[in-house]
Amino acid sequence: VENNFIISAVMTIFSKDRVLFDYQSILIYGKDLTDVLPPPHALCVVFPQDKNELVSLVHFANEHRLSLVPSGGRTGYSGGAVAKQNDIIVSFEKMNHIVDFNAADKTLHCEAGVTLKAIQDYAKQLDLFYPVDFASAAECQIGGNIATNAGGLHVIRYGSTRQWVMGLTVITGRGDILGCNKGLVKNATGYDFRHLFIGSEGTLGFITHAILKLTALPKKTKVILFSVSNNQAITILLSVLQQAVSLIAFEFFCHTAMQCVMQAEQIAFPFQKNTDFYGLFEYESDDTVDLIIEKILQDQLNKNNISEILMSHHEKEANHLWRYRKGISRSLKKYFPYKFDLAVLPSTIFSFMRAAADLLRNKYAALETVWFGHVGDGNLHVNVLKPETVSEKDFAVRCAEISETIYAVIQHFNGSICAEHGVGLLKKPYLHYSKSDSEIQYMRGIKNIFDPNHVMNPGKLI
């Protein structure tokens, strides 16, 4: 179809000020934070304001076999929101309103383009809590969170985004509007399409609205940053703590991550002595729990599992300690990292870490890797940094080779090649390490039902 025809048709759906064609806008709205993919291309970017405009766009795309790429906050790490030649990018930036709060049900109804931070702040102002949290909260959108089933720092206690979605309004790739679950707590009427759209990465349709559950704010919390000389000490502490108290977060990171974050955030090394690994945990504090934690930490210090400990005494200190963990992802950006987002059963995380570390040390000793992650959920982020002397192209080839090796280990552990960032374009060639051929066939079948002409984010996920 002629580009001019498409563009004039799109202009009849959206007002002129809500369609952009310039390459700068395509560069902004047509890509996420994935570094190793080629630059985006697209026909234009559109900014819908309501679902009827989207229905018209989806019908038009079906008629002329065009492809539509949902674009949220573009903080993804798997190329899910990356556009290619002749795509139309659909940004949710203007659908950014909180529609309603139902006090009796403690549910919030919002448009897909509301940022995660806006939802967290709204809940807090009601003395409630939206527990999904991670370092891109101010930029990422709830639509993107739902489309990737985002995890983050509190999964150990509160679960991933899926646990908090009580209802969704979606527009399928056929152009039908579906109201999935509508906020009900109980609903046993067969297939729950809400759960198909959670984690669907824009491949079945657009998420336009969500109903989210809020919960009670945790009482006073405390944050503890600690250092250890080996990663086994981290998993030992995790296991001891989990038997005694309910943790809100339990994270770990390596010394290189510590160095990167200190440099990027301009913050001082918090301990007396360097160690190989550091950890951070947060818990809901009261006198009884504080005593239990104190005893456990003293015991771990006596056994030389832990080297040093820092504890927050108020919110400001807690936020400061969190900077050492939350700053890692952004601090690595300048090293052009290739990101692995791996998951195994929490009970096997230590054996997996040992197997992956041995493999990387033996086969790829020349490449620097940075380790961190949500170790309490069995989720490990291994970042391979590009050596300055290696070209981007050669680095991508190298990373593809490493992927095959690491994912074979993941398969052996019955783990997942994507814990929380989604498959997108980047991890698509490796999906078979986590999903069987028949599972992938069923996924294709589902795609064909919701989006028979493959207008929705084609080429991503499957």
Ligand X SMILES: Cc1cc2nc3c(=O)[nH]c(=O)nc-3n(C[C@H](O)[C@H](O)[C@H](O)COP(=O)(O)OP(=O)(O)OC[C@H]3O[C@@H](n4cnc5c(N)ncnc54)[C@H](O)[C@@H]3O)c2cc1C
Q: What's the burial of 106, exposed, middle or buried (CB within 10 Å: 0-12/13-18/19+)?
A: middle
> Does 279 participate in binding ligand X (rule CB under 6 A)?
no
Residue 104's φ and ψ, nearest 5 degrees, are -70, -40
CB of 175 to ligand X, least distance (A): 14
From residue 398 to residue 437, the character string flagging contacts with ligand X as x (rule: CB under 6 A) and all else as - is ----------------------xxx-x-------------
Q: In sequence order, what E strands does 255-346 have?
A: 277-284, 306-311, 338-343
Distance CA 240, CA 354 (A): 20
Q: Which of 19, 26, 29, 32 binds ligand X (CB under 6 A)?
A: 32
Contact map string, positions 158 to 177, toward ligand X, x by CB under 6 A = --------------------
DSSP annotation string for 148-206:
HT---TTHHHH--GGGGEEEEEEEETTS-EEEESTT-S---SS--HHHHHTT-TTSSEE
Of 61, 150, 344, 406, which lies in the binding site for ligand X, with binding defined by CB under 6 A? 150
Residue 73 interacting with ligand X (CB under 6 A)? yes
Query: Are 171 and 51 a contacting pair, CB within 8 Å?
Result: yes
- Answer whether 66's CB lies under 8 Å from 13's CB: no
For residue 55, what are its two tokens? Answer: 């229905």
Identity of the residue, 339 or 386, whose beta carbon is nearer to ligand X in the bound complex: 339
Among 30, 40, 131, 144, binds ligand X (CB under 6 A): 144
Find where tokens 């370092």 sit: 135
The dihedrals phi and psi of 295, each to the nearest 5 degrees, come to -65, -45
Long-range own/partner contacts, residues 346-354 (CB < 8 A, 24 or more apart): 346/375, 346/376, 346/377, 346/378, 347/378, 348/378, 348/413, 348/415, 349/235, 349/375, 349/378, 349/380, 350/231, 350/232, 350/235, 351/413, 352/380, 352/409, 352/410, 352/413, 352/415, 353/231, 353/380, 354/231
In the complex with ligand X, the residue whose CB is nearer, 81 or 180, is 81
Q: Closest approach of Cβ 223 to ligand X, in Å?
A: 16
Does 117 engage in binding with ligand X (CB under 6 A)?
no
CA dihedral 70, 75, 80, 81 (to 10 degrees): 40
Give the one residue of 64, 162, 174, 330 binding ligand X; rule: CB under 6 A. 330
Closest C-alpha to 423, from 343, 353, 341: 341
Of 152 and 458, which has the nearer Cβ to ligand X? 152
Report in angstroms how near the CB of residue 12 gets to ligand X at its nearest.
23
Interaction of residue 61 with ligand X, rule CB under 6 A: no
CB of 404 to ligand X, least distance (A): 24
Tokens in use for 151? 């995890």
Residue 371 as a binder of ligand X (CB under 6 A): the answer is no
Parallel/antiparallel/unpaired status of strands 205-213 and 107-111: antiparallel
Size of the site for ligand X (CB under 6 A): 40
C-beta closer to ligand X: residue 145 or 312: 145
Q: Rounded to the nearest whole angstrom, what is the least distance from the CB of residue 243 to ligand X in the complex?
A: 25
What's the CA gap between 335 and 71, in Å, rounded?
Answer: 25
Interface positions, 96-115, toward ligand X (CB under 6 A): 112
Nearer to ligand X, 91 or 275 (CB): 91
Among 48, 131, 143, 199, binds ligand X (CB under 6 A): 143
- Rule CB under 6 A: say whether 193 interacts with ligand X: no
33 belongs to the binding site for ligand X (CB under 6 A):
yes
CB of 21 to ligand X, least distance (A): 20
- Nearest residue to ligand X by CB is 144
Residue holding tokens 């990018």?
89
User: Is residue 92 a contact point for ligand X (CB under 6 A)?
Assistant: yes
Contact segment (CB under 6 A) with ligand X among 52-60, 135-143, 359-367, 437-445 equals: 135-143
Q: Is 206 in the site for ligand X (CB under 6 A)?
A: yes
- Write out the residues near ligand X by the rule CB under 6 A: 32-33, 69-77, 80-81, 92, 112, 134-136, 140-141, 143-145, 147-148, 150-152, 201-202, 206-207, 329-330, 420-422, 424, 457, 460
